Chains A and B, each alone.
Chain A
């Protein structure tokens, strides 16, 4: 569960015009680029950065929901939540694998994450404070991510596109289980419905921020679009998400926490669409740059898991070596 927005990798590249034109011709012909194919350095760098951020988002994204693994209020919810958080781990794994085809190791990417150098979706730096957050995360955060991820299934880089196809197939239950939690709580006691509204109030704006800065302020976006690493603009996906989500909130009987939200008949070639109020981009950049409520704890948790696991990984390698030696001696 990730959405574009942080990409920001420098796509600049210094290959010859001829090389770049030949590469662009392959992209324009919708040919997929595979690991050993010649590619501009900027293309490789952009992908490594984007796939890495995407993978990190999945892995860090395990934490806010994992925060409720031991507190799920029914055995059915307990199973669904654990399966979902486990899926996020699997998605991180698929994505690290896709990035590894570009010559960067999982070990390197992990180092970049835990050192704070790499970015990940800012949404995971917000805390999950009540059970309805499990509903809202599935409904809004996975909902936002899916808009982006479906588009990425057609990304020009083969391994990334294939990983996304797998991710999208698995994620189809995530948003639904989230919405079902919201629905159950909105049909429940007043306290439950209050929790649901509270979760929506806290997560709505961060969910919109997941799509990244407005198109005009989105650095390097144009090159990514041209290379078909990114297939829709930030604003286009954000608007699509809002148009899909507002009626779902109405069905729940919840209020979108945006007093400026209004319908404009003229949008989308006369089909109409919502116009949202101003997004607090200062908050977005503050959280991206490390000063969200949970940034430090998220990184500390990942670092602890990595450091505490070192002796296990070393033991497995040591045993593998001994076993290989024994087998060779036989």
Chain B
């Protein structure tokens, strides 16, 4: 499969998760965490932009990062379902971030040695960001799991809610030599998650049917509602410069 498609998948994951995190801005549980969530959103947005620009080059159709972000419909987005899941409460947002970073940190680590200079370049920056997201989100998973009865119940509910969605991280429609093999990251992901769950006193539930479809553009219903406001100015004013 084409590197274009593989890079687009990655870019979509980053943009959609960044967008979700940005929805928290101004509404966080405390100011300090409001700033932390925005920092993570900006990290992801930075990677998304580099990846979209690279995808546009690979595609060779003279499209820009904004064309790719703003002018594709739900069916043309290839992010995994996990990143488009609604924010839910703080436990759900932090768990989603933790799952994603527990995947991306080893992914970028492996991509440091990519034969593709752009990919290894992105990896060099993103691996540090993901290491921080993994640590910070992991700290919260521990605190909410090992906090009060209320927080523990909410954290366990978040784990159950997201349980059908993490396995899709290890799939791709577009295996490509320039990028690490997603399936191989599963062992590391499970080790990270289990170690934090042990500290948090949380149980990883029994397997359920893993939902998939993001990689072929078949999403949940929420993605369209996210893209509609995001894309509305670009759609309403074709060709305008902002």
Contact = CB atoms under 8 A, between A and B. Distances in A.
Interface residues of B, number: 49
Contacts of A131: 233, 242
A189 B237 contact: yes
B151 A70 contact: no
How many A residues are at the interface, by size bracket? 35 or more
Contacts of A313: 29-30
Nearest to A322: B146
B26 A315 contact: no
Interface string A164-196: 000000000000000001001101110110000
A66 B25 contact: yes
Given A75-B45, A318-B148, A301 B240 contact: no
Given A316-B147, A319-B143, A73 B242 contact: yes
A90 interface: yes
A305 interface: yes
Contacts, number: 139
A62 interface: yes
Nearest to B31: A93
A308 B89 contact: yes
B28 A69 contact: no
- Residue among A79, A85, A313 with the highest chain B CB neighbour number at 10 A: A79
Nearest to A83: B42
B126 interface: no
Contacts of B89: 308
Contacts of B32: 93
Contacts of A192: 237, 240
A69 B23 contact: yes
Interface in B136-174: 142-144, 146-148, 150-151, 154
B22 A89 contact: no
A71 B38 CA distance: 16
B42 A79 contact: yes
Interface stretch (B62-70, B115-123, B176-184): B62-70
Interface string B57-100: 00000000110011000000000000000000110000000000
A326 to B, nearest CB: 10
Interface string A268-310: 0000000000000000000000000000000001001100111
A90 B90 contact: no
B148 A315 contact: yes
Contacts of B142: 319
B147 A71 contact: no
Interface stretch (B46-54, B127-135, B190-198, B202-210): B46-54
B35 A93 contact: yes
B135 to A, nearest CB: 16
Interface of B: 15, 19, 22-23, 25-35, 38-39, 41-42, 45-46, 48-49, 52, 65-66, 69-70, 89-90, 142-144, 146-148, 150-151, 154, 226, 229-230, 232-234, 237, 240-242
Top 5 closest A-B pairs, CB basis? A309-B29, A315-B147, A315-B151, A86-B38, A73-B233
19 contacts: A69-B23, A70-B23, A74-B242, A75-B45, A75-B49, A75-B65, A83-B38, A86-B25, A93-B31, A181-B242, A192-B237, A305-B28, A308-B90, A311-B151, A312-B29, A312-B144, A315-B143, A316-B143, A318-B147
